Amino acid sequence: MKPAPFDYYAPTTVEQALAHLAEHGDEAKVLAGGQSLVPMMNFRLVQPSVLVDLNPIPDLAFIQPDENGGLRIGALTRHYQVEVDPLVAVRMPLLHEAVPKIGYPQIRRRGTMGGSLCHADPSAELVAVSVALNGRFRLRSPKGERWIPAQDFFIGLFTTVLQPDELLVEVALPPLPARTGGSFMEVARRRHDFALVGVAAVVSLDGKGVCRQVRMVFLSAGDRPMEARRAADVLMGQAPTPEAIRAAAEIAASDDIDPSSDIHATAEFRRHLAKVLARRALDQACRRAAEKK
Amino acid sequence: MTKTLIGKRVLRNEDPRLLTGQAQFVDDVEIPGLLHAAFLRSDHAHARLLGMDVSAARQRPGVVAVFTAEDMGDDWQPGPPLVSPPPTAKDVLFYSRRQVPLVKDKVRHAGEAMAVVIAESRYIAEDAVEDIVVDLEPLETVVDLEKALQPGSPLVHDDLESNLAAHLSQKKGDYETARRQADLVLKRRIVIDRGAAAAMENRGIVADWDEKSQHLTVWDTTQAPIPIRNGLAARLGLSENQVRVIAPFIGGGFGPKMMMFYAEEMVIPWAAMKLKRPIKWIEDRRENFYATTQERGQIHDVEIALSRDGHILGLKDVFLHDTGAYDPYGLTIPLNTQCHAMGGYDIKNYSTDVSVVFTNKTLVTPVRGAGRPQGIYIIERLLDIASKELGIDAVEIRKRNLIPADAFPYKHGIIDQAFSPLILDSGNYWPVMQKALEMIGYEKFVRDEQPRLRKEGRHVGIAITPFIESTGVGPYEGARVTVEASGRIHVATGVGTQGQGHFTSFAQVVAQQLGVAVSDVRIVSGDTAEFHWGTGTFASRGAVVAGNAIHAAASIVRRKVLELASKELQTPQDELELEGGMVRVADIPDKSISLGELAARANPLRGAVEPGTEPGLEATSYFGPRYGATAFGTHAMILEIDPETMMIEIKRYVTVEDCGTVLNPLILEGQIHGGVSLGIGNAYYEKLHFDENGQLLNASFADYLIPSATEMPRIEVGHMETRSPLNELGTKGVGEAGTIPVPALFAQAVENALADRELEILETPLSPNRLYELWSQKEAR
Amino acid sequence: MRKLFDLALTVNGTRHEQAVEPRTLLSDFLRHDLGLTGTHVGCEHGVCGACTVLLDGEPVRSCLLFAVQAHGHSVTTVEGLGAIDQLHPVQEAFRQAHGVQCGFCTPGILTTVVAFLEGNPDPSEEEIREALSGNLCRCTGYQHIVDAVRLAAQTSKTAHEQPAR
């Protein structure tokens, strides 16, 4: 399975990359990790006539603390770098928990945060996690730049608000509030397959142990990351008892997601798994939150 | 004096080459001027080919030729029938329809080859494939086995009256009478679905026609180089001596590489002769899912009749077998199913009826297991159900029915895949099962651990599954053993090798006879220039049939060595020993002569040679067993399942094998481990999903799920040895043993783990989704 | 014919310069342009791992990289690990533990394992299986491969603990 021919550019600055994109528009595809794009090219499912390789650009990969206690991650940062970074483990444990579940070890050496987010596969771990963590994405174009909240970035199956002449260059993750716990869980056929269903849950408790903020986002449960708003509403202001969590999980599965059927799982089974995972993840997130000061 | 090498864990001769990337596989072959092929394949599963326009493809720069069925003219012929229906069986109905080189009138399965592009590179060839314009008229597809046989169904082969490819009934004893005498009759429908062999190396072929010497050399990822050589010679109008087929290192066979002739094997050598340029075609993974054969699809309506105390009085099986679009492989797989549906049990009344059905899907030919797993699945499921209905322990009911040790050779009488009446040559079944029970701690688990785990709310199940495996079938294999002047031994045999360690296990057999180091025995296999007669590796027969031919040839060479050495050393033969590459006189160590020196003396440049002797120290022998030896084994497993997600974890996995004399335990274990991994795939991960239009929905490794290292348990392997009386080495085959009982084992374990809902599993492969459905259908007790 | 790219890279310590089509996969470049056929191709969609090589020491799928992306970088293939008469310790461990059957997946596993053990010299069985989860094998059921990795780790540990002679 060999790819169709293309013209290749290897810019060394973001400006050069943007210039190529502006020139070629829809004919061009951006190459980052290539772990999703190149298989599709080998299958000839996509046949871009121009490939703009971002890998040579030096300052697009970084993991930096921001002064508020959050993190700023460059778009070309490899999953492996995120996986082993001590700052991520401390400041964003949910991300630290989710990244090892991305594909296989070799995939994580090349795959990038920006690539995964822009590919916008609803079964991608980072897609759901970026929404659960209230991430914001910095997009640059020849015209300037803009920041988009993660939840507004993903608008459909493999579809984002990114324009043909825009590049995602950075992800900003705000600091977690006090007494916040997270939990990432997924169910996959083999350990490293795409999740049948997955969930990223983040819960913040107040001084009395009542849920002050709840955010739960599902992967593989719709055509984009599915935020369980109704479930969150049910749990807000409640003590995280097993009954309250169970009720929230039920609502999440019945009202907040829109899973489809494929050869690996039916929509019904996905809903069932979503309910189970929501319950387990909320439980774990609440426990972890309670352990924090 | 020589330590026995048979049964030793000798390290493999072939490993250094494989480990350093120096071993030659077919795609590693490079020839000056090599061209590359890509095939245009049908997207439709069933369609009439109305026309094709290849002109644009022909004009693409870098394209040397484009061929269609029309271009092949009179050279276009379907492949030969590989296996005819058994002449020994009665009332066999068989309609032989074989695969074609390139589609001429009608596409019969998705992925069928319609045209071939030959170009300077595979990249350009694939570009040119996209240039071809095809006019296909889609037809209604035949996918469901039962619908395929209904009147009015579309026909896969228009010249037949129906989609029935074959029919065969076999009987032993009198089932109907047995049924009337039964205390319990169980009837069930069991559905088994397709899986792929999915060797890591896809298929490939390089064909090089030398116009000046009028000689064709072909490198092919085949398990059967000699039949390919013979068939190619016949098809291309050449003498067998003008054709050399080489199966170099092969990256896994598992059955489908035994199939011949694939379309590509018919087209590429033909094209090479036509263009007088060497051509290479390497299958890619997507093609492999469509164009390489698959197996396992069957639907069974079974019935078992038992007495109150659990004795099987009779078994009846009426089943449909999916052969895909063509049936070159005869009745091999369904015959294996028929012969294994009785398991290792003493069943005196048996009626089995198979209808083989054409469908618009990829061809079906043996994949490791080859019909045996289906047979074992049936009998083991029925016994599990019977055990519950009769209130007899699952182990006990099996023990009561196993063929006793004094009943061998046990004659079933029905015809097997080698056309002989099925005879189980030898065995000692119950002790094997007992050993498996001991190894897994069955009794203690059921009595103590499982109740404790259940109290904790955990769902952990245990299962045990005995099984037979027919192996080592004929017709024959041959080998030539030669002592060279260097003192090293050269062995040639016709069977190829795809990782089973033949280079080493066969060397052990020779080293044993001739007293040399295993590393001093060089095995050449898979090259028709080296050895002219043979069939191939299939049906777990390599070690048995080729191994015994090698043993026989080595024994003759040993005799020649002793005769000549006796003359040279002027010592009676019975005072001579072979050790360390020397022949020495026992008790007089300096009175010796090396094998190499003897070989030189056996082939003098001057002097008279006694009439009746042959030059050199060499022998060629053939071995054909009277019938195939039957091995026996038992697998046991402890499995935990999360009933909310239906995710599993295998806690323990035990196998006990009785395959007669073991040549190399290290290699044997490797075979078992690998077989179990395919079995686990067949049980819980691997299923080829065809939709109602005959489209394969999971034609990639992302969606066709082969177990990886994180899904596989550690496997504990136990041995017992009941020598086979059918060959001098006493061996039985074991190559497929790992796969055979696993789906049945899984079903039993899952039912046992989820015992609170009394599931009855009658299908394989399973999946979490499917288990969830079955679970949801049942109320908790 | 699209514009060719002047590729310069180091493979197993040797520098190579060649003009290549951008779409040439690194796996094909290594195998057919450089004749290093030790790296095998099993799927061309990044799942089987047979094509794994080390790019600047990191295990990556060569079927998912265009050769031009290796420009200015260093690639190590199985041929760069050891020779028939001088096996790399990991290769030797595979020999001892019967971690090879048909040998097709082996080169990809060897490069993966060499990189893995460098970062994790004393792994547990679970960690080993995790590290191998991106390399499919159809012959071995993985057990002897896991044993080989354990043996390699053990041997290396022992070698480090031995006082130098």
**For B327-372, how does the pLDDT look when each residue is reduced to its tens digit (9 = 90+)?**
999 999 999 999 999 999 999 999 999 999 999 999 999 999 999 9
Tell me, what DSSP letter sits at residue B25? P
Predicted pLDDT at C60: 97
Whether B454 contacts B753, CB under 8 Å: no
pLDDT tens for each residue of B450-473: 999 999 999 999 999 999 999 988
pLDDT tens for each residue of B68-85: 999 999 999 999 988 888
Chains that touch A (3 or more CB pairs under 8 A): B, C
Fold of A180-291: Enolase-like; domain 1 (3.30.390)
Query: B414 in a domain, yes or no?
Result: no
- Alpha-carbon gap, residue A54 to A12, rounded angstroms: 8
CA distance A104 to chain B (A): 11
B155 plus B231 within the same structural domain: yes
Token pair listed for B388 = 């519950």
pLDDT tens for each residue of B401-437: 999 999 999 999 899 988 889 999 999 999 999 999 9
- The CATH code of the domain that includes B90 is 3.30.365.10
Phi, psi dihedrals of residue A42, rounded to the nearest 5°: -65, -35
C65 touches chain A (CB under 8 A): yes
Chains that touch B (3 or more CB pairs under 8 A): A, C
Q: Which residues of A touch C6 (CB under 8 A)?
A: none
Closest to C2 (Cβ–Cβ): which among A2, A7, A31? A7
Residue of chain C nearest A1, judged by CA positions: C44
Residue of chain C nearest B713, judged by CA positions: C143
pLDDT tens for each residue of C13-26: 999 999 999 999 99
Token pair listed for C55 = 């790019």
CB within 8 A of B152, min separation 6: which ones? none
Report the top-level CATH class of A7-53: alpha beta
Q: Evaluate if residue B1 carries a pLDDT over 70.
A: no
Closest to A106 (Cβ–Cβ): which among C22, C28, C112? C112
Cα maximum dimension of chain A: 62
B125 plus B162 within the same structural domain: yes
A267 touches chain B (CB under 8 A): no
Locate the domains of chain A by residue range. Answer: 7-53, 59-173, 180-291
Q: Under an 8 Å CB criterion, which residues of B touch A?
A: 122-123, 126-127, 130, 284-286, 644-645, 647, 685, 689, 697-698, 700, 702-703, 705, 707-708, 710-711, 767-769, 772-773
B535 vs B597, higher pLDDT: B597
Which run of H or E residues covers position C59? strand C58-61
Q: Which residues of B touch A189 (CB under 8 A)?
A: 685, 705, 767-768
Q: What percent of chain B has a predicted confidence (pLDDT) above 70?
A: 99
CA distance C95 to chain B (A): 6
Phi, psi dihedrals of residue A170, rounded to the nearest 5°: -155, 150
Predicted pLDDT at B536: 87
- Hey, are the CB atoms on B710 and A190 less than 8 Å from each other? yes
- Classify strands B489-493 and B477-483 as parallel, antiparallel or unpaired: antiparallel
Predicted pLDDT at C3: 85
- Hey, are the CB atoms on B285 and C31 less than 8 Å from each other? no
CA distance C149 to chain B (A): 13
Task: Give CA angle at B263 (B132, B688), nearest 5°.
Answer: 90
Predicted pLDDT at B2: 45
CA distance A232 to chain C (A): 34
- Alpha-carbon gap, residue C137 to B670, rounded angstroms: 12
Residue B56: give the domain boundaries. Answer: 32-393
ipTM above 0.85, yes or no: yes
Q: What order do you get walking across the sheet with B521-525 strand by strand?
A: B521-525, B489-493, B477-483, B618-623
pLDDT tens for each residue of C88-102: 999 999 999 999 999
Phi, psi dihedrals of residue B133, rounded to the nearest 5°: -105, 120
- Hey, are the CB atoms on A264 and B123 less than 8 Å from each other? no
B49 vs B496, higher pLDDT: B49
Question: Confidence band (pLDDT; 50, 70, 90) for B292?
Answer: very high
pLDDT tens for each residue of B206-255: 999 999 999 999 999 999 999 999 999 999 999 999 999 999 999 999 99
The pLDDT of B175-193, averaged and rounded, is 98
- Hey, are the CB atoms on C104 and B201 less than 8 Å from each other? yes
SS3 A91: helix
Length of chain C: 165
Q: Evaluate if residue B123 carries a pLDDT over 80.
A: yes
pLDDT, averaged across chain B: 95
Predicted pLDDT at C164: 54
Task: Give CA angle at B167 (B162, B170), nearest 5°.
Answer: 160
CA distance B470 to chain C (A): 21
Closest to B200 (Cβ–Cβ): which among C94, C104, C130? C104
B425 to each of B405, B418, B630, C151, how far by Cα in Å? 11, 15, 6, 41
B573 plus B663 within the same structural domain: no
Closest by CA to A117, choosing from A69, A65, A170, is A170
Burial A225-239 (b: 16+ CB within 10 A, else e): bbbbeebbebbeeee
A264 touches chain B (CB under 8 A): yes
CA distance C67 to chain B (A): 14
B486 plus B440 within the same structural domain: no
Report the top-level CATH class of C5-80: alpha beta
Closest by CA to A201, choosing from A287, A94, A291, is A94
B503 plus B649 within the same structural domain: no
The pLDDT of A203-227, averaged and rounded, is 97
B578 plus B498 within the same structural domain: yes
Number of domains chain B contains: 3
B688 plus B755 within the same structural domain: yes
Tell me, what DSSP letter sits at residue B520? G
- Alpha-carbon gap, residue B49 to B675, rounded angstroms: 41
Whether B742 contacts B368, CB under 8 Å: no
Tell me, what DSSP letter sits at residue A265? -
Query: B401 in a domain, yes or no?
Result: no
Residue B727: half-sphere exposure toward Cβ, Cα within 13 Å: 34
pLDDT, averaged across chain C: 95
pLDDT tens for each residue of B630-647: 999 999 999 999 999 999
Q: Evaluate if residue B482 carries a pLDDT over 60.
A: yes
- Alpha-carbon gap, residue C64 to A34, rounded angstroms: 6
Q: Evaluate if residue B10 carries a pLDDT over 80.
A: yes
Q: How many other C-beta atoms can be found within 10 angstroms of the C-beta atom of residue B50?
A: 10
B490 plus B435 within the same structural domain: no
Q: Evaluate if residue C163 carries a pLDDT over 90.
A: no
CB within 8 A of B533, min separation 6: which ones? B226, B476, B478, B494, B622
Closest by CA to A1, choosing from A39, A28, A35, is A39
Q: Which residues of B touch C129 (CB under 8 A)?
A: 709-710, 712
Last residue of a domain, one of B593, B623, B653: B623
- Hey, are the CB atoms on A105 and C130 less than 8 Å from each other? yes
The pLDDT of B36-42, averaged and rounded, is 98
Query: B324 in a domain, yes or no?
Result: yes
**Residue to substitute from A46, A189, A246, interface B, most B β-carbons within 10 A:** A189
Query: How many residue pairs bridge chain B and chain C with CB atoms within 8 Å of each other?
Result: 190
- Hey, are the CB atoms on C95 and B16 less than 8 Å from each other? yes
Predicted pLDDT at B91: 85
Q: Evaluate if residue A216 carries a pLDDT over 50.
A: yes
Query: B642 in a domain, yes or no?
Result: yes
A5 touches chain B (CB under 8 A): yes
A106 touches chain B (CB under 8 A): no
Token pair listed for B780 = 């908790």
CB within 8 A of A23, min separation 6: which ones? none
Q: Which stretches of C66-149 are assigned E, i.e. beta strand?
A: 74-76
A266 touches chain B (CB under 8 A): yes
Last residue of a domain, one of B623, B642, B659: B623
Whether B313 contacts B305, CB under 8 Å: yes
Tokens 């164009």, located at residue:
B291
A200 to each of A175, A211, A280, B109, how far by Cα in Å? 16, 16, 11, 43
**Residue to substitute from A6, A104, A246, A273, interface B, most B β-carbons within 10 A:** A273
Q: What percent of chain B has a predicted confidence (pLDDT) above 90?
A: 86
Q: Evaluate if residue B319 carries a pLDDT over 90.
A: yes
Residue of chain B nearest C146, judged by CA positions: B709
Question: Confidence band (pLDDT; 50, 70, 90) for B3?
Answer: low
Token pair listed for A260 = 């489809």
- Hey, are the CB atoms on B705 and A189 less than 8 Å from each other? yes
B295 plus B356 within the same structural domain: yes
C5 touches chain A (CB under 8 A): yes
Q: What order do you get walking across the sheet with A211-219 strand by strand?
A: A180-188, A195-205, A211-219, A226-227
Q: How many other C-beta atoms can be found within 10 angstroms of the C-beta atom of residue A58?
A: 9
pLDDT tens for each residue of A82-97: 999 999 999 999 999 9
Report the top-level CATH class of C89-160: mainly alpha
Fold of A59-173: 3.30.465
10 Å CB burial of residue B567 (0-12, 13-18, 19+) is: exposed
